[in-house]
Amino acid sequence: MLKDRVALITGAATGIGESIARLFAQQGAQVHLLDRDVEGCRAVAASITTAGGTAFASGGDVRLAADINPWVESAIARSGRVDILVNNAGIYPRQEFLGMTEAQWDEMQQINVKSMFHTLQAVLPHMQAAGSGKVVNISSVTFHLGMGLMSHYIASKGAVIGLTRSLAREMGPHNIYMNCITPGAIKTESEAKFVTDEQAEVMMASQSLHRRIMPLDVARVCLFLSSTLSDGMTGQVLNVDGGWVMY
């Protein structure tokens, strides 16, 4: 489905990003991975290569254009172009609003939103020159729900949706597709750091599908949005949440 496509994926060392990278490589894409966990990122790329795919790993901080720009240029030097960008990197610690520091607020916005500013500014000129491209931004279903202890997180994920919609209008004339996925409660390694088993059970009970939603569930929708199957769609937000939120 993605034979010979070139895909850039941030936050690819674990969880959703790793699953996207593996699925894209299985579908024939050359995948370029970025994560601040450079050893984890390299392990994922090595595993993909061993399985017969094509993957390249880089370490970098998505908050820094000085890390993003060389990664994008390296991918183009190796593969000749960029067809797909998946903005997946993000964090989601919980924090009471009145106890939140300015540094905590800023870190959330920098990692979850400013990172996309950097990747998009680096990648979109190349997609414009090529006259095509697919971008998938990862937001969160919590934007539709509103949840306590997550004001900084939900604010950042709302910004991702707004950015997606605005750029869909701006980039449409260049045949560049901009879409967004809003995952629900996804069973990942990082989730365990912030969500107890009891909290996960409560969230699952709110879903229409009473099973844990896995990274692969999100990766499959990302594959759809990155392939020709979604060529009639841009500026859209798709929930992957087991039927928790419907709108």
What is the full per-residue pLDDT of the chain (247 aa) written as tens digits? 999 999 999 999 999 999 999 999 999 999 999 999 999 999 999 999 999 999 999 999 999 999 999 999 999 999 999 999 999 999 999 999 999 999 999 999 999 999 999 999 999 999 999 999 999 999 999 999 999 999 999 999 999 999 999 999 999 999 999 999 999 999 998 887 778 888 888 889 999 999 999 999 999 999 999 999 999 999 999 999 999 999 8
Distance CA 243, CA 207 (A): 5
246 domain-assigned: no
- Domain at 109, CATH number: 3.40.50.720
Predicted pLDDT at 199: 87
229 domain-assigned: yes
Instruction: Give the CA distances from residue 49 to residues 27, 111, 222, in Å, rounded to whole numbers and listed in that order.
Output: 13, 28, 21
1 domain-assigned: no
Structural contact between residues 48 and 26, judged by C-beta atoms closer than 8 angstroms: no
Helices (H), the chain: 15-26, 38-50, 65-79, 102-109, 115-130, 142-145, 151-171, 191-194, 197-205, 215-226
119 domain-assigned: yes
92 domain-assigned: yes
Predicted pLDDT at 192: 78
Predicted pLDDT at 211: 94
Predicted pLDDT at 187: 93
pTM, two decimal places: 0.97
Would you name the residues annotated as active-site residues?
153
31 domain-assigned: yes
Count each helix (H run) and each strand (E run) in the chain, helices first: 10, 7
Predicted pLDDT at 111: 98
Sheet holding 30-35, edge to edge: 54-59, 30-35, 6-10, 84-87, 133-138, 176-183, 237-240
- State which residues form the domain around 120: 6-240
103 domain-assigned: yes
Predicted pLDDT at 193: 77
Count structural domains, the chain.
1
